[in-house]
Amino acid sequence: MKSPLLSLPGAVSAEGVDEGVAGHYGDLFREQRSLAGGTGFVDLSHRGVVTVTGEDRLSWLHLLLTQHMSALPPGQATEALILSANGHIEHALYLVDDGTTVWAHVEPGTQDALVAYLESMKFFYRAEVADRTADTAVVHLPAGSIAPVPEGVAVRETPHGRDLFLPRADLAALAEDGRYGPAVGLLAYEALRVEGHRPRVGFETDHRTIPHELGWIGSAVHLQKGCYRGQETVARVQNLGKPPRRLVFLHLDGSEVHLPPRGTELRLADDGPDGRKLGFVTTSARHHELGPIALALVKRNVPVDARLVADGTAAAQETVVEP
Domain limits, the chain? 4-47+135-196, 48-131, 244-322
Q: Which CATH architecture has domain 48-131?
A: 2-Layer Sandwich (3.30)
- Residue ranges, the chain, pLDDT below 50: none
- Model pLDDT, residue 53: 98
- Model pLDDT, residue 274: 74
Which CATH code of 3.40.50.150, 3.40.605.10, 3.40.640.10, 2.40.30.110 fits the domain covering 244-322?
Answer: 2.40.30.110
- Model pLDDT, residue 159: 96
- 150 to 154, 179, 182, 216: CA distances (angstroms): 9, 12, 17, 31
What pTM did the predictor assign? 0.95
Using the Cα atoms of residue 311, residue 187, residue 47 and residue 250 in order, give the sign of their dihedral. Answer: positive
> Identity (one letter) of the amino acid at 299?
K
Label residue 238 exposed, middle or buried (CB < 10 Å: 0-12, 13-18, 19+). Answer: middle
- 29 to 22, 245, 318: CA distances (angstroms): 15, 32, 23
- Model pLDDT, residue 254: 83
- DSSP letter string over 134-161? TTEEEEEEETT--PPPPTT-EEEEETTE
Rounded Cα distance, 43 and 257, in Å: 28
Nearest partner of 165 among 182, 140, 147, 145, judged by Cα? 140
- Model pLDDT, residue 29: 97
- Model pLDDT, residue 83: 98
**126 DSSP assignment:** -
